[in-house]
Amino acid sequence: MNVFIGIAALLTLLVLTWLLFPLLRSRNQGSVSSEGLNAAIHRDQLHALEADLARGVINQEDFEATRDELQLRLLDDTQSTPIATTKEGKRWLSPRSTAIIVALATPLLTVGLYLQIGNPALVDPVRSQELGEQELRDMVDKLAQRQNANPTDLQGWTMLARSYRAMGRLEDARNAFEKAGSYTDTLPDALLDYAAVLGGLQGNRLDGKPTTLIEQALKVSPDHPGGLMMLGISAYQRADYVNAVKSWEQLLRLLDPASSDAQQMRGNIADARAQGKMPPADTTKLPPVPAGAAAGGMTPEMINEMVQRLAARLQDNPEDYAGWARLANAYKVQGRLDEAVQAFAKTGPLLASDVSIITQYADLLAMRAQGDFKGQPITLINKALSIDPKQPNALMMAAQAAYQARDYAKAIGHWETVLTVLPKDSKDSRQVQAEIAEAKRKMTAAKP
């Protein structure tokens, strides 16, 4: 409150200064006349003209013509115009008296107006917080009343349960989650909130039903950071350090390696490894060098240094989208698939319009999913084909995805399109023809 009063007083003083200055200042202060300003400009222009003549930029004839023009312009600009003086009538108040009245009236009017329409309680942060908490409680109570009147509104029970959890009312939250029934089965965030509520009620332990809810959430969203974190905690509490490390390492791959969260997670993993008497993770071993690079004399250390330099440059140039794509592919070659996914995510507009990068990203995601094209990989492949229906790599992956789904006719269609863009009698062409033959054989065998 004292801070607010101080700020208000300072603002009032500034306003008074602005109002009183014209009244109190001397009326005989000097000012810059337009004549003097124009004369100064003329002098500057004339000096510049003389300098041009001295450097030989202009000749004597041009100098004299321009000088004459400047002087004629100055004569017009500085032509004196008589200013009529006005006689001041008799004043009821002098400027000084007016200033005193304004100085006294402004603070009084300000305080009176604030007390009339302001709310001093809002200035007190404690009181303001109390009002905010009371409003929140009132909203939750109204929601509870509405739910009691409409007990079949499962979404409303879920909302009420999560509100109770945020307020720390764990018993009420559990009861509301129970009334939500199966509505939360496909909502990972709600499932994890329910698990946290039950864990809190049993002394912050996640054994039993909380772990079941966490696993259910991860079935819906396998890379949910909160779910992976809680699953690791559950395993750690059971002294199942192997699975704790497994969950947390999966989470670590989703985090920015330079973030504080990643640093904390690495500490948790190291602690779990130590508790389980597991060897520390080998962070020094580099992936093998691809055959082509090895033939060129490249070593794992040389490749890793180049990748690190590229990553460092991109930190300073985050809008180098093509650079992020190069880094993603370098990580992919090294087998650092999660880091490659993070790099692809930073390719910005290229990931929305560049068919080659869209296809590379789809291939990476499928590789990370052990060759499974379902979900985001096939979505990206279809997006690439909508931009370029004859993109060979996208067609090959679309055919492979269709073959996995046993949609052999669709797979054959994609492969036949690929043949139209491949050189005839090439090794790739013969390979595609063999794939078509195999798909036709399976399609015939599948017929009743």
What are the extents of the domains in the chain? 147-275, 286-353, 354-448
Could you report the per-residue pLDDT of 387-421, keeping only the tens digit for each?
999 999 999 999 999 998 889 999 999 999 999 98
**416 or 306, greater pLDDT:** 416
Residue 328 CA to its chain's centroid (Å): 20
> In the prediction, which pLDDT does 338 show?
85
**Residue 84, pLDDT above cutoff 60:** no
When the candidates are 3.40.50.2020, 3.40.30.10, 1.10.10.60, 1.25.40.10, the CATH number that belongs to 354-448 is 1.25.40.10
Mean pLDDT of the chain: 77
Work out the average pLDDT over 420-443: 88
Work out the average pLDDT over 170-199: 92
Share of the chain above pLDDT 70, in %: 67
Mapped onto helix, strand or coil, the DSSP state of residue 57 is coil
> In the prediction, which pLDDT does 46 show?
66
Say whether 354-448 and 147-275 share the same fold. Answer: yes
Work out the average pLDDT over 176-181: 92
Could you report the per-residue pLDDT of 250-297, keeping only the tens digit for each?
888 887 766 777 778 888 888 888 888 887 665 555 556 555 555 455
Output the CA–CA distances (angstroms, integers) from residue 105 to 12, 100, 172, in the order listed. 11, 9, 56
Work out the average pLDDT over 78-88: 41
**Residue 26, pLDDT above cutoff 50:** no
Could you report the per-residue pLDDT of 108-151, keeping only the tens digit for each?
666 555 555 555 544 454 444 554 567 777 888 888 898 899 88
Helices marked H in 238-336 — which ranges?
241-254, 260-275, 291-295, 300-316, 321-334
Q: Which value, to the nearest 10 degrees, does the dihedral of the CA atoms of residues 154, 160, 162, 168 take? A: -150
Cβ proximity of 196 and 230 under 8 Å = yes
**Residue 383, pLDDT above cutoff 90:** yes
**206 or 108, greater pLDDT:** 206
Burial degree of 230 (CB within 10 A; 0-12, 13-18, 19+): buried
Residues 6 or more apart whose CB falls under 8 angstroms from that of 238 comprise: 207
Work out the average pLDDT over 357-363: 92
> In the prediction, which pLDDT does 299 show?
66
Min mean pLDDT across 43-57, 111-125, 350-364 is at 111-125
**Residue 384, pLDDT above cutoff 70:** yes
Highest CATH level, class, for 147-275: mainly alpha
Q: Which two tokens stand for residue 169?
A: 């009312």
> In the prediction, which pLDDT does 131 show?
43
- How far is 285 from 326, CA to CA, in rounded Å? 22
> In the prediction, which pLDDT does 312 show?
87
Residues 6 or more apart whose CB falls under 8 angstroms from that of 133 comprise: none
Min mean pLDDT across 6-10, 73-77, 306-310 is at 73-77
Return the sign of the alpha-carbon dihedral for residues 357, 359, 362, 366.
negative
**Residue 372, pLDDT above cutoff 70:** yes
Summarize the chain as % helix, strand, coil (round to 5).
75, 0, 25
Burial degree of 236 (CB within 10 A; 0-12, 13-18, 19+): buried
**Residue 33, pLDDT above cutoff 50:** no
Could you report the per-residue pLDDT of 319-333, keeping only the tens digit for each?
999 889 988 888 887
> In the prediction, which pLDDT does 24 show?
54
Q: 22 pLDDT band (50/70/90 cuts)?
A: low
Q: 243 pLDDT band (50/70/90 cuts)?
A: very high
**Residue 211, pLDDT above cutoff 90:** yes
Mapped onto helix, strand or coil, the DSSP state of residue 112 is helix
**Residue 85, pLDDT above cutoff 50:** no
Fold annotation for 286-353: 1.25.40
Work out the average pLDDT over 203-216: 93
**Residue 369, pLDDT above cutoff 80:** yes
Q: What is the pTM of this model?
A: 0.42
Share of the chain above pLDDT 90, in %: 29
> In the prediction, which pLDDT does 287 show?
59
